[in-house]
Structures are given as structure tokens and as C-alpha cells.
Structure 1
């Protein structure tokens, strides 16, 4: 996908609301911090209070940021929302999946296919939220080239199910000697995808290193 003609990159944030909300995540708060991070980096950002409206408004956007819950409750995704995601990925929109978005849009298999893995109930889990040590393992990628290992207060997603063994893991955490990816990138058709398992609460975004990685991942995914 060629970059848009907009002088500033444009992002749509699909924030958890409606049936994509859950009692464990303050999506409106964390989405605001994500928007602030990108706005400070020169982006034009539009936040939608629930994902389906966002997926119907992707035309012309450089980047989709998903920050939402699993999509529980009655009903299925609106057909226009599903087709909006399909069309955007076909044209090569960049994607940044945040934290619990690893188990959203369960009724849209294309989402899991795009991000290359998932949180799977009964398999994936996390230790109690605490100071988390993030280890950078690939500094040859533009997202993490300037990054150093860092610590922030966050959840450490563990035993995620990786569908694409070819994902490029950029950062991880270690638990009992086992490495678990926290940040990875991949290409799905025409789209660049970045997935971050970090970002449980607003406190996670107090980390300068975390915000830097998000800003660089957004630019990379949008080919900016």
C-alpha cells in the first residue's frame, strides 16, 4: 500500500465499548493515552467508543489500532464492520493490536489470521500484575532499533498461542526460564501488523519506553 496523501498519518482507534468492553479494562482511558502518544508524534487520530463503528470508518486511514475486549454477549459483528476490516486489510492498512485485542473479534477469523496469534482461554494466562521486565531481543528492526530493556507496571501475557511460526518477535518476558513474546511484527498480505501484549492499565503508558515502542510500531505498520 502506498502511503496516503495526507500530510499527517491518520489512525483510527477501535476502543472497547458495548459488547467489546469488560470489567477488567478501562479502555476509554487507555485508548486516550494511545491517542495522546500518537498525536504527540504528529498523527491525526480518531477514537471510536466501540470497534464496529471504527471498522466501518477505515477508508483512507493509514492505521487501525485495536484496543478492545473479546466481544461477548448476544449478537454477531455487523456485516458492514466485518467487510470494513476485510477491505482495509486487502488494501494494506497498517494494524496495531494492543493487549486484550489478542482475544477480540472471535467471530471474525480474519482478525486472528492477521495478527498471527491469540489469547486462548484455558491455555493463556498472566501472573498478577506487577513490575514487568521487558527484554528487547531484536534491535535490527526499525521498531526496536533504539530500544533498551526496560521495566514497567503491567500484565505479562503468558502462553499465548502463536499461529504463525514466522512472526518476528521484538520483545519478550521470561518466566521460569521460558520466553514469552510481548511484541511482534508480521506482514499479512499487503498489510503490516504489529502486536503488543502490553497496555493493561493507564499506568503502563507512564513508561516512556513503552510509548516510544508504540509510536515506532505505528509508523512502521503504516509505512510512514
Structure 2
């Protein structure tokens, strides 16, 4: 069944110089459109949600970041954040990709929705390269039957993960990679957020090299399918 999906692309206040937000959004939109969904790709403007009118998405995908240099004020973005939060309150599913853990820092409701966040001064990643991300929960619909995902990507580490988030995939970081940056070990990179709605965070997807991996594309397709599947009342698994 066709669904409406809004893919948010970071620009201006929520853009950054390290990520190709448009390329990330394009990968998501192509997968969704191939399945017949009604997809709109929009940049982050204060009026982004107001311009949608009666077109209400069933899924919100966020591929934006956090600019270090902003000239506008938080007040100019209050309606944007309130509208985003209203979508979630009305039952829209949410997928945050990669740098979405470090966006909308001016509205703490976003981190609460996502079930975690990037923490400046604590979160980090080893050098970009081919890595194997390990599935630690193969009973969730997204990771059912999977053991690992191999992709040319970044391994986010030391993210803040909310209690109650269901961790599905981790990135393993060796002790010699962590020094002097952070903590070695298994770091959550894909999780389902706590709460009644369907919300996923997926830290993979730094640039098109990641999406070139069949494993990574299959994981993303499974995430989108689960998020758009009608869930029984109270079921977020």
C-alpha cells in the first residue's frame, strides 16, 4: 500500500560541511519510490512543514545535521519544531539517518523522539573505511535473519542512547582505535526508540559509498518496510 513519506534534507542551520545530505536523501527516496510510495524531499526551512498543507506524511526521514555557524534565532524555528513534534504525536513513524543524531540540538524533543543523540565532546568515530557492523538482536523485524552489515562507512561511537531503546546493531571499536578518543568495545549504531510509535535511528550512511553496499541497502529497505507497516496498538517491536 502506498504511503506518504517526507524526507528532510539539511541546509543552512541544519546543514554541515561533512555530509552530502542530498545524496543520502536521494538513496532513501529511490528505494521508497521503487515500492510505489509518495515521496517528497524537502530542505530544512522554517516554513517546511507549513508548506505541506493537507499532505500529511506517514513517515518522516531525517538526513540533516547541525551547522556550527547560524545567523538566525531559535525563535524563527519554533514553528518548525512544533510541527515536527505534532507529526510524531499524531503517529508518524520516524527514521533518523547518520548525522540525524546531531541535528535539531536546539529542540530537546528531537533526541527524546530518536532515543539518543550525538554528544559534542564525547561522541566520535574512528577513520572512515570498510567495516562490519554486528547484529546483536536478530529477533526484531528489521534485523530478522541477519548477522552483520558490511559497508564503507563511519563507526559512530559513544553516542548517548536512551534507556529502553532496543539496540539492533553495534559497531565494534578496538582499544588501539579508541585511544585517545573514547571508549573501546561495542557501540550501538542502530536502535528502535522506546515509546508507542515506530522510530528508528541508523548511524550508517555517511555518503554514497555506504549505500553501494548490498548489505547496507538491504538493511535500509528492511527499516523502511517496518516503519511503514501498520503496527498493532502498543506494539513498537
Question: Residues 1-224 of structure 1: matches in 2 within 5 Å?
Answer: 7-50=1-44, 52-56=46-50, 57=52, 60-72=56-68, 73-74=70-71, 75-76=73-74, 77-162=76-161, 164-176=162-174, 178-188=185-195, 190-224=196-230
CA separation in 1, counterparts of 2:186 and 2:46? 34
Q: Deviations over 1:151-209 (max 9, x none)?
A: 110010011111x2211111111112611011100243x42110000110111111122
**Relative to structure 2, which stretch is displaced further, 73-82 or 93-102?**
73-82
**Relative to structure 2, which stretch is displaced further, 150-159 or 175-184?**
175-184
Q: Which has the higher contact order (CA 8 A, sep 6+)?
A: 1
Deviation at 1:80, TM superposition (A): 2.2
Q: Deviations over 1:49-107 (max 9, x none)?
A: 22644444385211000000114412225232122112111111100000001010011
C-alpha contact (below 8 Å) 1:20/1:51 kept by paired residues: no
C-alpha contact (below 8 Å) 1:51/1:66 kept by paired residues: no
| Cα pair distance change 1:139/1:42, threshold 3 Å | farther
Number of equivalences: 216
Displaced runs of 4+ in structure 1, greater than 6 A? Answer: none
CA separation in 2, counterparts of 1:200 and 1:157? 10
C-alpha contact (below 8 Å) 2:164/2:194 kept by paired residues: no
C-alpha contact (below 8 Å) 1:41/1:215 kept by paired residues: no
C-alpha contact (below 8 Å) 2:191/2:202 kept by paired residues: yes
TM-score by length of 1: 0.89
Q: Deviations over 1:92-144 (max 9, x none)?
A: 11000000010100111110111111111100000110001111111111111
Identify unmatched segments of 5+ residues in structure 2: 175-183, 231-237
CA separation in 2, counterparts of 1:171 and 1:192? 17
CA separation in 2, counterparts of 1:103 and 1:110? 13
**Relative to structure 2, which stretch is displaced further, 173-182 or 70-79?**
70-79
